[in-house]
Amino acid sequence: MTEMAYNRSYRLSRTAFNERRRRNREIQQHIIILVLSVLLIITMAILFFGTKSHAEESVSRSKSYVSVQVCEGDSLADLADRYYSSEFKDLDSMISEIRHINNMVSDQVTPGLFVIVPCYTGE
């Protein structure tokens, strides 16, 4: 093989090699763009749908108070359980709030007594 034929063969193989490298880089760039696009769409969907549900929950219910007459056999826990909702931390915190609102020292209630009870209602 002559030196000229060798140089020509080398240039052709080098050109093919560079062309393959360029195509591989283009494919990698397309894959990166595709992955980033999918991640962006997922992130936007989570932000849109996640915040919407929280906003609806906070607007839909408001705190109000009802006056309840204590019947025979009722306890403060019974009244709290009757009006309990997920806005309260737990049943004990609701009982504490009832006691605070009504200036009660203990959990004892007597029949005929009117007790103010906090509750959440939909608008």
Cα 75 from chain centroid? Answer: 36
Task: Kindly report, residue by residue over 43-61, the tens digit of the pLDDT.
Answer: 988 888 876 555 455 557 7
- Span 83-111, mean pLDDT? 91
Among all chains, which residue has been given the structure tokens 């063969």? 9
For 85, list phi and psi in degrees, rounded to 5: -145, 170
- Phi and psi angles of residue 108, each rounded to the nearest 5 degrees, phi first: -75, 130
What are the boundaries of each domain within the chain? 60-122
Q: Please state which CATH class domain 60-122 belongs to.
A: alpha beta
What is the per-residue pLDDT for 116? 94
Q: Which amino acid is at 65?
A: Y
Average pLDDT of the residues in 60-82: 89
Mean pLDDT for 88-107 is 91
Give the per-residue pLDDT at 46.
Answer: 85
Q: Across residues 67-93, what is the average pLDDT?
A: 91
Give the span between the Cα atoms of 80 and 83, in whole angstroms: 5
Is the model more confident about 106 or about 4? 106
